[in-house]
Amino acid sequence: MQVFVTARAEKNFSSIVDYIKNKWGAPTAHEFIKKVDDMLVLLKKYPLIGQKESENIRGFQITPQTRVLYRIKNDRIIIVSFFDVRQHPDKK
């Protein structure tokens, strides 16, 4: 399966990385990026690993604070959003 990242998800990801970098420094931001890369490899192998969030959306916890939301369409995994509860604790 191929993984595609929406523009919204790219923006979310960049925002989270910037937040981590500003709050805890570049090494922690790089650790987060590595976790996301590892998660994408795992997701390619096991696309149904995420919890069903709604009819077409699945979610996968990357860190205790960060979740990825994605959908599967044909032979593609489409990353819809990265969600950071530290920045928006009331939203999902």
Q: Which residues contact 81 (CB under 8 A, 6 or more apart)?
A: 6, 8, 9, 12, 68, 69
Share of the chain above pLDDT 90, in %: 79
Let me know if residue 34 belongs to a domain: yes
How many domains are there within the chain? 1
Let me know if residue 13 belongs to a domain: yes
Q: Taking CA 28 as the corner, what is the angle to CA 25 and CA 31, rounded to the nearest 5 degrees?
A: 150
pTM for the complete prediction?
0.85
Let me know if residue 92 belongs to a domain: no
Let me know if residue 25 belongs to a domain: yes
86 half-sphere exposure, CB direction, 13 A CA radius: 12
User: Could you count the other beta carbons within 10 Å of the beta carbon of residue 39?
Assistant: 19
How confident is the model at residue 90, as a pLDDT? 53
Q: What distance in Å separates the CA atoms of residue 15 and residue 37, rounded to the nearest whole number?
A: 16
Kindly report, residue by residue over 59-86, the tens digit of the pLDDT.
Answer: 989 998 899 999 999 999 999 999 877 6
- What residues make up the domain containing 49? 2-84
How confident is the model at residue 86, as a pLDDT? 65
